[in-house]
Structure 1
Amino acid sequence: MAIATPATLVATSPHSNDCPFATAGGPVAVAVWFGSRMPGRQQTVRQKRATALWLALFCWAGVVLYLSSLSPAELPEAAFAFGDKVNHFAAFAVGGWLAASALRASRPQIGGTRVVTEAILLVAAFGALDEALQTWTPGRVGGDVLDWTADALGATAGALLSRLRRADTG
């Protein structure tokens, strides 16, 4: 029996075209590989949901990194529709919700408080990485502690909202 690798799973996955950042060996490949079927076992609805949520989270991260790599002149006008901190909060609330939902779906045995905490830490650490990477983008300052604070607060709100939604749906 051949063992599936991340590269072969991405090439054959119906989800490989869903994310513009899906490349063989990349983070999406890892998510597909970990969320793939075990030999002789059908994927459960929970496993499919977990895979979809992890793919969505990796796509979200790719979009955030892409937007962070643009100079202010290259950013779409929509980026300036609201205040900078509001944009950070809203974007990272999406990331917090996706991370908490993906963690909960892939590890249902873990308690809700731990899932929320891990999601906040994961997304806030990504926010710090994003701020650090912006220091190398021409025209961007990066390393802004207030931007990172908005990122962490947004991640917290999103992770907590995922828990409230979970309580409503059972």
Structure 2
Amino acid sequence: MTEPAAGTQKPSIPPLLARWIRRPVFWGLLFIAWYALLYYLSSGPVTVRTGWTIPHADKIIHFLYFAGGGTGLHLLLRFHPRSRELALWKRIAIVTLTIALLGWLDEWHQSTTAQRNGNDIYDWTADVLGGLCSVVIARPIGRFIERKTAPLDTDTDATS
């Protein structure tokens, strides 16, 4: 094999990350951390900023945050041996329904938190749409990971 010419080398994944990135436990822990951060952020008062603001910025933030969580869940399902063979539409349904449920729980949690307003249908809609659109993010990331890392030995890593 010949080495690629300087400047044309494909991006690579650092070895330590490459060792873990195909493991479902990696994506599972990342998803749990995502939800823990969501709970923490929902537990405090809203910081009100004065001056120039973007209309409906909170909906944009909800969409992007839940798209990130949905991406982590998609990748967990993609690399888990038991769900790897699921049809794409089933993975999308699982992720969308899970994100919808977690979004609803977040809205309910906010409604029980002092100095917060919860049960906002528009926030929840942004959450669900973020989860639904996460497939657009997760599929190319999953393909990139599969191209750049070696497959795991399924006999030893099936429980990971």
By the TM > 0.5 criterion, same fold? yes
What are structure 1's unaligned runs of at least 5 residues?
1-44
Distance in 2 (CA, whole Å) between partners of 1:153 and 1:88 is 9
Paired amino acid for 1:132: W
The residue number in structure 1 matching 2:44 is 70
SS of equivalent to 1:140: coil
Distance in 1 (CA, whole Å) between partners of 2:20 and 2:95 is 18
The answer to whether the 8 A contact 1:47-1:105 is kept is no
Structure 1 moving runs of 4+ over 6 Å: none
Give the alignment partner of residue 154 of structure 1, picking from 130, 134, 137. 130
Distance in 2 (CA, whole Å) between partners of 1:55 and 1:161 is 19
Give the alignment partner of residue 140 of structure 1, picking from 116, 119, 126. 116
Give the alignment partner of residue 163 of structure 1, picking from 133, 139, 147. 139
The answer to whether the 8 A contact 1:120-1:159 is kept is no
Q: How many residues align?
A: 122
The answer to whether the 8 A contact 2:71-2:137 is kept is yes
Q: CA deviation at 1:159?
A: 2.6
What are structure 2's unaligned runs of at least 5 residues?
1-18, 148-160
Residue by residue over 1:69-121, the C-alpha shift from the partner in whole angstroms, topping out at 9 and shown as x without a partner, is: 11124x8x7xx975110110110010110011111111212122211211111
Identity of aligned residues (%): 30
TM-score, normalization by structure 2? 0.68
Query: Within the alignment, does 1:113 sit opposite 2:89 as a pair?
Result: yes
Q: CA deviation at 1:49?
A: 1.8
Counting only pairs closer than 5 Å after superposition, residues 95-134 of structure 1 correspond to structure 2 as 95-106=69-80, 107-134=83-110
Q: CA deviation at 1:46?
A: 8.1
The answer to whether the 8 A contact 1:92-1:152 is kept is yes
The residue number in structure 2 matching 1:13 is none
Considering only CA atoms, is the larger Rg found in Structure 1 or Structure 2?
2
Paired amino acid for 1:134: Q
Query: Within the alignment, does 1:49 sit opposite 2:23 as a pair?
Result: yes
Q: What is the RMSD of the two structures over their aligned residues, measured on CA atoms?
A: 2.4
Distance 1:46 1:111, change over 3 A: farther
Distance 1:162 1:48, change over 3 A: closer
